[in-house]
Amino acid sequence: MYDSIIAVMLVLSLSPLFLLSGLLFQQYDYILERETEQQLRWNTEIAKHNLESYIEQIKYLLKFAIKEYSIEELLDQEKAEKLFYNMKSDYKGFVDFGVIDSKGEQKVYVGPFDLKGINYSDADWFKKSSIGNENISAFFKGYRKIPHFIVTLTKYSKDNKNNVVIRASIDMQTIENVLSSVSTTACDDIFLVDNTKTLHTTSIIFGDIENEVSLNIYPYSSIMMFDKAVYDDTYLIYTVMPIKDTPWRVVLVKRGLLISKNWVKLKEEVVFTVFLMSACVLVISFVVAQKLIWKFRESEESKESALMAAQQAGKLASIGRLAAGVAHEINNPLAIIDQKAGLMQDLMEFTGDFEQKGKFDLQIKGIRDAVQRCKSITHRLLGFARRMDISLDEIDISSVINDVISFIDKEALYRQIKIETEFSEAVPRIFSDRGQLQQVFLNIINNALDAVVENGLVNIKTLKKNDDFIDVIIQDSGHGIPPYIIKNIFEPFFTTKEPGKGTGLGLSITYGIVKKLGGEITVESEIGKGAQFTITLPVKPQQAT
């Protein structure tokens, strides 16, 4: 009888425990797979952006040559050599440079090989160049027997009969250097292929250039694809993404699942707990065992919450220390500049009239205004190291936005990006901190400019939401923010920009300022259709916190 009771208790106690353990391990594998996929997709987006940015920089140099040089100048050997060495000084990957007439004969050549006079009329890249204005070839070895690819642009004559094609050869090693900057623990291999599955760069898994890749690369897909495969008895997870205006596809591969030390530790803790609970069930009652399981779950959840809170607090503390250091270091030279400018202004008052006196006085005033602007910015930076009171003034929100646009309109004009404004007359004047709002709008509009390409659009509009709040909507025509990234964009130090191009603090700082002013900030985005940031601000000062 006693044995039967023990057996029933063991079955009733251990069955739920082992069932729960099985579900935990199943969920563990599922979470690891999703995390691996997310990390691969994120790094693939970065690799695509880096490659497309590099190609755009090369094309920009060639477009500049076409725009600034006539056909006669391009056919001048001496000027062509000077142009090539100027381009090579900016981008080391240039191998050589040539100018080809409409019949395919290379009239001008600059480079380490003897290729002047060679006829390229049968070359695939030359035929494509004759059809379109610009072309990027697949990699090939050609006369020089060195892997490279060709970037060509066409310079049209007035009669369209004496067109020339300018051709620049780029070493594939430079592309591999761009890819190597993306390599992280999230992937084990990264390489380029074409639609025939031929390697354009070396691969750790599939070998050297020209080898065939035994993966499905989705040659007709225009979006990122995620897939799994088994190669050489190894489970592979990979992403494939086409590179715009090229015959290439970038592939990132991970062998198995992305397992960090924390995940291994979690698995070990789960296994240990299962055995511990099984031993406890042998000596204690079913009720006590169930309470222990419940306590374990509660403890793990509290531990996870506390860990996340500590990590967030640590990041915010780092921002505060960084902001305080930068602000104090900048304020000293600013004070010197302001004093010198003030002295110059005083001297101007005791100096007789001369031809450019008014202009000098205006320039000195501009210097002092800029210094005051910088002091205001460093004052706000210090707010991340210590709490500062909000300076509330009655302001016209459209005036604040126009001030910010005046800071960046030259950059937008240079990049041929149009900034449109739609200010509603129904929007009332609000009580807020003008300087901090300028910082908010400057951060978001700068991000919008970074997101759009040439001939893009940034639209800014103001709306009256209700009697207590107004909305400022900033929308760009960029490539959009992927859904798996958008939830992290307001976190400190989170950035999708390439190394050296962003700190990941802009949107975090913006979010903190808007919250401190009593407002809200939200973002909506669709891939390929840009992103829209909505800043909701209170009208009355008592709503700021």
Tell me, what's the pLDDT at 540?
84
How would residue 21 be classed by pLDDT, with cut points 50, 70 and 90? low
Between CA 83 and CA 65 the distance in angstroms is 8
Average pLDDT in the 52-76 region? 87
CATH number of 69-175: 3.30.465.10, 3.30.450.20, 3.30.70.330, 3.40.50.2300? 3.30.450.20
Dihedral sign for Cα 144, 145, 147, 149, please: positive
- Closest by Cα among 117, 134, 116 to 125: 134
Structurally, at CATH architecture level, domain 291-387 sits in Orthogonal Bundle (1.10)
Question: What are φ and ψ of residue 481, in 5° steps?
Answer: -115, 125
- Contact at 8 Å (CB) between 143 and 118? yes
Between CA 149 and CA 136 the distance in angstroms is 7
The residue extents of the domains of the chain are 69-175, 291-387, 393-543
393-543 CATH: 3.30.565.10
> What tokens does 39 get?
């990390």
Asked if residue 7 has pLDDT above 50, the reply is: yes
- Contact at 8 Å (CB) between 497 and 450? yes
Q: Which amino acid is at 141?
A: K
- Closest by Cα among 98, 101, 209 to 147: 209
DSSP 3-state of 38? helix
More confident residue, 204 or 489: 204
Alpha helix ranges (H) inside 415-482: 434-451
Question: What are φ and ψ of residue 150, in 5° steps?
Answer: -115, 135
How would residue 239 be classed by pLDDT, with cut points 50, 70 and 90? very high
- Contact at 8 Å (CB) between 45 and 480? no
- Contact at 8 Å (CB) between 141 and 147? yes
More confident residue, 339 or 498: 339
Tell me the pLDDT tens digit for each residue of 278-334.
666 665 655 555 565 566 667 777 766 566 545 555 555 555 566 666 666 777 787
Q: Which residues of 46-63 are buried (b: 16+ CB within 10 A; e: fewer)?
A: bbbbbbbebbeebbebbe
Tell me the pLDDT tens digit for each residue of 122-179.
888 788 776 767 888 888 776 667 778 889 888 888 877 788 899 898 888 888 888 8
- Contact at 8 Å (CB) between 503 and 381? no
How many CB atoms within 10 Å of residue 98?
A: 24
Tell me, what's the pLDDT at 193?
92
Q: First and final CA of the chain: distance in angstroms?
A: 69
Element (H, E) at 255: strand 249-255
Asked if residue 251 has pLDDT above 90, the reply is: yes
DSSP calls for 372-427: HHHHHHHHHHHTTTS------EEE-HHHHHHHHHHHHHHHHHHTT-EEEEEE-TTP
